[in-house]
Structure 1
Amino acid sequence: MNPLDHILITGLQARAVIGVHAWELHQPRPLLIDVELGVDAKAAAATDRLRDAVDYKAVSDEIVAYAASKEFRLIETLAESLARLLFERHPILSLRLTIGKPGAVPEARGVAIRIDRRREDYAVCGR
């Protein structure tokens, strides 16, 4: 197996209508998202061309737009949906995604979920 290179996007700010309580569903809440994309960057490094790379600006824009486009009850659902979307649209081999929900628990700075997925995790279901 070839070693992976990693693209890191940290502290991405998004907003989503997300929660299980009625008061959470009236307006978008802030989310903090970190994503680590496992890629093979050799071609991009050799050519110095964006077309041979994973466009991290496009990835960031897609994450922010997707989070804002729907309502979610759970951050787990948002995380899994984002993982599928990114594998469908980009030539990534693996993904580590953390979604933080500041203020979800008053006694904590925030609550987060982190998921780790590989491209082959979705091959079974045809995606």
Structure 2
Amino acid sequence: MADSVLIEGLVVETVVGVYDWERKVDQRLVVDLEMAWDNRVPGASDDVRDALDYAAVSERVTSCLQTLQPQLLEHGAEHLAAELRQAFGIRWLALTIRKPGAVPAAQSVGVRIERGAR
């Protein structure tokens, strides 16, 4: 199955980073998700209860990263991927977390991981 649900450009304001000054301010993270999901059932039923609730996923992403306040994007990505897969029954996901402005010469820096089996 190649179906998926996308969330792109989700902005989360949280404490992130390793330097002392970073631990005292909120910074912007931008999260992109692609999650394997069988869209045939909600496609046929037109019933929201059959679909992956992307509003609930978005809320979970925000609360997870705001609570975790990771030093490293890698840690945030691993923790978030595990939490989303467990909470929503997602068997595969690709997750990108970007930190705009972290490197002055770059638009953003970030990490991308894939977890689970398609």
Bin for the TM-score computed over the shorter chain: over 0.9
5 Å-filtered alignment, 1:67-106, equals 67-106=65-104
1:65-112 CA distance string (max 9 Å, x none): 111112211000000111011111113221000000011111211101
Secondary structure (helix, strand or coil) at the match of 1:82 reads helix
Aligned pairs, how many? 118
Which one-letter code corresponds to 2:10 in the other structure?
A: L
1:107 and 2:105 matched = yes
Q: Structure 1: which 5+ runs fail to align?
A: 121-127
Q: What SS is found at the alignment partner of 2:74?
A: helix
| Equivalent in 16, 19, 22 of residue 24 of structure 1 | 22
Aligned to 2:38: 40
Q: C-alpha separation between the residues in 1 aligned to 2:37 and 2:25?
A: 36
Deviation of 1:40 (Å): 1.0
Pairwise CA RMSD of aligned residues? 1.4
How far apart are residue 30 of structure 1 and its match?
0.3
Q: 1:46 corresponds to which letter in structure 2?
A: A
Q: Please, what TM-score do these two structures have when normalized by structure 2?
A: 0.94
Query: Post-superposition, which runs of at least 4 consecutive aligned residues in structure 1 deviate over 4 A?
Result: none
Question: What are the ranges of 5 or more consecutive residues in structure 2 without an aligned counterpart?
Answer: none
Q: 1:92, 1:119 within 8 Å by CA — same for their partners in 2?
A: no
Distance in 2, Cα, partners of 1:70 & 1:82: 9
Q: Could you tell me the TM-score, scaled by structure 1's length?
A: 0.87
Q: Percent identity?
A: 40
